[in-house]
Amino acid sequence: MAAFADLNVANTNDKKKLQSVIETAAHLGYSTVAINHVVEVQPKKQEIGKPSCVSELFDNFPVVQGKSKPIKVLNRLTLVLSDPSHFRQTADFKFFDIVAIYPKTEKLFHAACMSFDVDIICVAATEKQPFHFKRPPVFGAIERGVFFEISYAAAIKDSTMRRYTISNAINLMEICKGKNVIVSSGAEKPLELRGPYDIANLGLLFGLSEGDAKAAVSTNCRAVLLHGETRKTALGIIHTMKKSQPKEKQEDKEAPASKKAKLDAI
Amino acid sequence: MHVTDITGNRKQRLVVGSLRELAQTSAMFAELQKCPRSVLVCEKSNFTNEKSRHDKHVSQHYFNYKVSVLIPDCGVLPQCLRDAVSGFTSFYLVNEVPVFELLQEEFVENTVKKGGFYALSYKTRIDQDNVIALLPTGQLIMSVNKDTYEQLGLEGKASQYSHKQPVRYVVTINLTDKSMALGSKKYNRVLWALKENVPLKMDFLMGCQRDGKIGAWMLPSCLSHCPWKELQPSVETQILQDLPCPVLQSDNLRGGSSCDPQAFLEWLGAVSMGISCDNEATSFESTYACPEPQTFVNQAVLCTVTGLLLPEDVHSLLEELRRYFDHPKFTSWLSLVVHGFADSPVSWGTAEHGFHKGGENFYSFVVFKNQDYWLNMGAGANDGCPP
């Protein structure tokens, strides 16, 4: 299993609140946290805005409980869209480590699963899913390495939303059979976070198996992060970093063997 | 469709919305009813029996974190037990050790090959990070992530507890083997992997058992440049008052007229955690009640030792506990529970240990007046069956 990650921590302008949420996440045992910037895309306004630099948040990042390394904080962008034609990949995307999309219509869901260059597709937690999940787009997304995300903070706040979260999640599991699913918090306050093993148990309520539920908080989150990194690099083959050895990417199934041989020479 | 109830009578037809939906929901609830599996092996034997393998079980469980002794009907811990408990070997916490230093010739010749040396990486989780352990047999066990394994370039096996695709690999290297002699191909490759490919640096807990005549073990010079601390295992003694105790009979493992091992272990856990076993109506925390048949004891001693505890010390403690019954005592039994590290890569011997929702790997001796004993060994979900 990989280290635990919570890929949806709501962004606020209140720096102290965000700091306390991240400290709570580190205390609970999460090694990676992604700050979620939610943007409702307007057809006329194109710019999304640069996220604030992560290193400004803390001088010393809090150490993850039980380990000696500090917590890693990343930036994530979520686009809330209804119309597939509004999705335009701008240069702003490169400031974010993960890009997610929250589809409001069936047409957009289908387009996002089959063709959009995103890492995560969010499943509605606060309302009943306006459309049904169909097999072709869901399987298409699974093949491309796109993950479906379920947020649980809404379920903590209100009992009606709890029903929507669970029913939407179960509908998704019936189609995807527990593959390519991640569970994240969507927490705005520190009290809305829960520990990773508790979330693995919550996954059982959503219809995931034991192994799938734990993977939804660990291994699958790692896969999302790697998928996000491939967007910054050329198909994940060439990666500039201080060390001279490039890392192999899990999602990199398209690279033929000849390209890898050339890389050793570099 | 017709449904038969338990008495075999046919009932009225049920109108069901969709048979498929019913099957799916019932399948899902069946999944919810399952728990991660745990294994408990209970054995009974006598210490004086020559075929008794209690020595082997104690010495094979290498990494022990906590030992707790419960003696009913005892107000004060006897002097000999107090000496045994405070005589546990001290251990070292060494920070930021480059792992390739463990391969240095001086270290291998003077420390590892003489046996009795235990090392376990500190503050590393077995289900999230890289964990390294050095067994007293000279084997270096590295349980590493997929990324680390692919970069390291050493041969290893995929973890037994992988889900769909392996994300954890176990690399085992025998440092005392002839193929790992200084200068050999394999030795150079391992050194290259740990020094150049992935220079792993970890904090280690190290302990070494030495006979009195050789003297206490000192940290070797190749490690003395790392920040280190010598630590003593911490001892805590509690006197419990008015404790309901289950009645145990040494020859009755199945229960009935006396308590069976499973119910006894539950009770023992409740007592160690300080959970009240009265089943009071006003208690919100626990409705647990002491298993029947039970007696009341006025006092009991609960002594807990935590740290990196070596099997040899546990063995001497067990021998002292056996000698407790040399003089007549009120109680007919006492118990010793030894917990293994939840994040150790091995449980008994070289059996792989993992952490699913819990990493328990413990064993417990219930020592009876007549030198009979019960040995209960428990393991969690990602663990093989204890030996």
Query: What confidence score (pLDDT) does residue B28 get?
Result: 59
Say if pTM beats, i.e. exceeds, 0.95: no
* Structure tokens, B184: 């050999």
Residue whose C-alpha is closest to residue A183's, from A227, A162, A152, A207: A152
* Confidence bin at A238 (pLDDT 50/70/90): low
Q: Which 8-state DSSP code applies to residue A146?
A: -
- Which of A246, A242, A236, A241 minimizes the C-alpha distance to A266? A246
Query: How far is B206 from B295, CA to CA, in rounded Å?
Result: 43
**Residue of B128, B147, B203 lying closest to A31 (CB–CB):** B128
Mean pLDDT within B186-198: 92
Which is higher by pLDDT, A56 or A248?
A56
Which residues in chain B are contacts of A201 at CB distance < 8 A?
Answer: 357
H-helix or E-strand containing B58? helix B54-60
Is the model's pLDDT at B90 over the cut of 60? yes
Q: Hey, are the CB atoms on A67 and B123 less than 8 Å from each other? A: yes
How far, in Å, are A206, A216, A220, A221, B233 from residue B163 at the CA level?
Answer: 18, 12, 12, 15, 37
How many CB pairs lie under 8 A apart between chains A and B? 54
How close is the nearest chain B Cα to the Cα of A236, in Å? 15
Residues in chain B closer than 8 A to A3 (CB atoms): 128-129
Residues of B in contact with A174 (CB under 8 A): 24
Candidates A68, A173, A247: best to mutate against B (most CBs of B within 10 A) is A68
* pLDDT beyond 50 at A256: no
The phi, psi pair for B313, rounded to 5°, reads -70, -40
State the smallest CA–CA distance between residue B266 and chain A in angstroms. Answer: 23
CA–CA separation, B134 and B116 (whole Å): 10
Tell if the CB–CB gap between A247 and B147 is shorter than 8 Å. yes
What was the pLDDT predicted at A240? 60
Q: Is B20 on the interface with A (CB under 8 A)?
A: no
Mean pLDDT of chain B, nearest integer: 85
pLDDT greater at residue A265 or residue A129: A129
CA distance B100 to B218: 19
CB-CB under 8 Å, A2 with B125: no
Q: To which residue do tokens 């230093």 refer? A: B101
Please count the residues of chain A: 266
Reduced to 3 states, what is the DSSP secondary structure of residue A182?
Answer: strand
| Domains in chain B: boundaries | 39-88+233-379, 91-231
Tell me the average pLDDT across A245-264. Answer: 45
Burial label for B128, CB within 10 Å (0-12, 13-18, 19+), is: buried
CB contact under 8 A, A210 and B356: yes
- Closest partner CB to A248 (pick from B145, B150, B356): B150
| Phi-psi label, residue A126: left if phi above 0, alpha if psi -120 to 50, beta otherwise | alpha
With cut-offs at 50, 70 and 90, classify the pLDDT of residue B310: very high
Contacts of B28 in chain A (CB under 8 A): 170, 207
Q: Which two tokens stand for residue B339?
A: 């917990």
